[in-house]
Amino acid sequence: MINLGQKFPEFSKQATVSTAPGKEFKTVTNKDHISKKRWMVMFWYPKDFTFVCPTEIIDFNDKFKEFESRNCDVIGASTDTEFSHLGWMTSHPGLKELQFPLLADTSKSLGEDLGILEDGEKIAYRATFIVDPNGTVKWICANDLSVGRNVDEVVRVLDALQSGKLTPCGWKKGDKTLN
């Protein structure tokens, strides 16, 4: 797996951004957040049309304004196609109005560069990356396929990283930092 302090790999991938006809897809790159001097959270999930994955995607969407207020782009990603993403978004009530792109890593090249693909079917583990505005990986969390992540923890860690201070265990925005 890629390490903390390394540059996030370069990528240019198709993503599903909307269910509106004619506005479904766009190209997303690693330079998008850098050019805007924004943070990026990229979270990977195993597959479309599964059971745990939509719970996480919906929670990221529910907290989208929290990421926006922290100058942070959110990108969901899997090895499914952009057409699979669109079909899932169209058919699942909780995914119809996503506010962030679902990246299609159909070649699995980005997943391989990140080192997050499981050995068998080569689907992605539930990996989350926080990347600073310079493109440097600042936080990584990876779960087994069956275990959903905690989006509140992603927000908490983003706050801690953006504080630029030493933060104790369980620290939340507004708490005292360490000297």
pLDDT, tens only, 34-71? 999 999 999 999 999 999 999 999 999 999 999 999 99
pLDDT, tens only, 151-176? 999 999 999 999 999 999 999 999 99
Instruction: Yes or no: say if 162 and 39 are a contact pair by the CB < 8 Å rule.
Output: yes
In this structure, is residue 102 part of a structural domain?
A: yes
In this structure, is residue 143 part of a structural domain?
A: yes
In this structure, is residue 80 part of a structural domain?
A: yes
> What stretches of 18-163 show up as alpha helix (H) in DSSP?
31-35, 53-62, 64-69, 82-91, 109-114, 151-163
> What pLDDT was estimated at residue 110?
98
In this structure, is residue 158 part of a structural domain?
A: no
The candidate with the shortest Cα–Cα distance to 158, out of 54, 74, 84, 102, is 74
In this structure, is residue 160 part of a structural domain?
A: no
Total domain count for the chain?
1
Cβ neighbour number for residue 18 with a 10 Å cutoff? 17
Q: What is the DSSP letter of 126?
A: E
Compute CA distances 88 → 36, 44, 124, 145, 154, whole Å.
Answer: 30, 16, 17, 19, 24
The candidate with the shortest Cα–Cα distance to 41, out of 24, 61, 27, is 61
**Pick the catalytic residue: 53, 72, 141, 169?**
53
pTM for the whole thing? 0.97
- Which structural domain, as residue segments, surrounds residue 31? 12-149
Annotated active-site residue 53? The verdict is yes
Q: Residue 105 is part of a domain; what is its CATH number?
A: 3.40.30.10
State how beta strands 39-44 and 72-78 pair: parallel
